[in-house]
Structure 1
């Protein structure tokens, strides 16, 4: 059944023109076809951390290449938009943590998040940043609806 779900995700990635979704589904399909499922456990255990490592490295490159100065940093940290950015970062990390916990408890929700992400790409011009934020928002929505 998982093979067909990956095919469906591949098709949805093609429909949404999301190279990332297409590449990911294709790699996992190839792993299944070549019976390389032993890598699934490794990816399951380490993939998020590896992806986050690359993402954080990418974000920090302007510091490593001296594109951001101490003055830029000070100006940003003391501006209204800089303070809002700090609050956004705080909220995002909290939601991402909630999303990670939700995905550990209910991994089947990933399908809904992928479908929602693909719909967002197709109709809203969205960018598939990752399942953690989608999981965080899902966890937040579940909590809010649980209070009603």
Structure 2
């Protein structure tokens, strides 16, 4: 019963905080739980991140496919400072996301803190919720810095 209460709270917080993805995700999980379809939870836990990343990658590649970005424009970005920084940013982000994923696997209870932090970022700082994986990546980086200076 505690799980359902947490999901309802997340739905309410998501609606109030304009975090539609959070509210939708919590709603889907609540529906699965209440309709006795919770047998899908292990599959969602195991493959959900991959499915989400698949759709994210598709969304990022659409401008290339629909002609908004030309192939000649792609090669030109590698020879500009912003293009070089974009490549470096991609390398750093994927490395940090891997660290965040490792941290979430070791301490999954941290997810609630990441969600609350994301909601505060949306409501108070007009941030954009890019997902708990990047939040976990930043948390993992902060934890490493903390342990390094300790």
TM-score bucket (shorter structure):
over 0.9
Provide the aligned length of Structure 1 versus Structure 2: 148
Please name the residue that 1:72 is paired with. Answer: 73
- 1:114 maps to 115
In 2, the alpha carbon distance for the partners of 1:10 and 1:69 equals 41
Q: Which runs of 5+ in 2 are unaligned?
A: none
Deviations 1:55-75 (A, max 9, x none): 101111122223222220122
Q: TM-score, normalised by structure 2?
A: 0.94
Give the equivalent residue in structure 1 for 2:87: 86
Partner of 1:42: 43
RMSD over aligned CA atoms reads: 1.0
Q: What is the match of residue 101 of structure 1?
A: 102
Q: TM-score, normalised by structure 1?
A: 0.96
Segments of structure 1 that go 5 or more residues without pairing to the other structure are none
Match of 2:31 in 1: 30
For residue 64 of structure 2, what is the aligned residue in structure 1?
63
**Map of 2:142 onto structure 1:** 141
